[in-house]
């Protein structure tokens, strides 16, 4: 079982230097009593690190990034929000494809391979969740993912039989 607050702390530790270098503040808003979820800890850390790295990479200096966790009936919802360059409507559908990078000077300057979001989507889908993006060009982007709090029936059978 995984406590998402613990995951966030580890992820923050990973990206803090990068954020500091750009004087970007990272805010966290997570309920104290957030329930533990049954998911792969290392994979979830990777999701946070990748999303935070993107948020920092595509946000100008002195920007702001926030992590908002909400406890819903059947799932935990996490949003990672930045006030960076944003992603245009046409590009939004392609953003989770392997090797896709928005073709702009800002992106090319930022480097990377365009694999981060494809990996994240694979992890989230594989854990029975979903991820989506809201963005406005020039204003920022918010990536929101949901993970189920309970295992699905078929996952459960697998574990019982193990």
Residue with smaller CB distance to ligand ATP, 86 or 129 = 86
**Interior CA angle at 44 toward 43 and 48, to 5°?**
120
Name the 3-class secondary structure at 8.
helix
Check if the beta carbon of residue 145 is closer than 8 Å to that of residue 124.
yes
Least spacing, CB of residue 50 vs Mg ion, in Å: 6
Contact partner at residue 87 from ligand ATP, Mg ion, none, CB < 5 to 8 Å by partner kind: ligand ATP
Candidates 7, 67, 76, 95; binder of ligand ATP (CB under 6 A) is 95
47-76: contacts with Mg ion (CB under 5 A): 54
Please give the C-alpha separations between residue 74 and each of 7, 37, 66, 105, 150, in angstroms, as whole numbers: 20, 11, 23, 41, 7
Interacting residue ranges for ligand ATP, rule: CB under 6 A:
54-55, 58, 82, 84-87, 95, 100-102, 107, 112-118, 141
């Amino acid at each position: 079982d995984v406590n998402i607050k613990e995951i966030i702390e580890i992820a923050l530790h990973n990206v803090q230097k990068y954020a500091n270098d750009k004087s970007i503040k990272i805010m966290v808003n997570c309920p104290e009593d957030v329930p533990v979820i049954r998911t792969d800890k290392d994979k979830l850390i990777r999701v946070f690190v990748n999303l935070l790295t993107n948020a920092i990479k595509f946000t100008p200096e002195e920007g702001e990034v926030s992590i908002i966790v909400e406890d819903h009936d059947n799932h935990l919802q996490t949003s990672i929000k930045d006030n960076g360059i944003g992603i245009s409507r046409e590009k939004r559908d392609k953003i989770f494809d392997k090797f896709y990078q928005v073709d702009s000077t800002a992106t090319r300057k930022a480097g990377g391979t365009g694999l981060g979001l494809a990996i994240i989507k694979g992890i989230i889908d594989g854990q029975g969740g979903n991820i989506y993006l809201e963005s406005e060009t020039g204003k920022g982007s918010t990536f929101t993912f949901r993970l189920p709090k309970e295992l699905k029936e078929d996952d459960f059978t697998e574990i019982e039989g193990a």
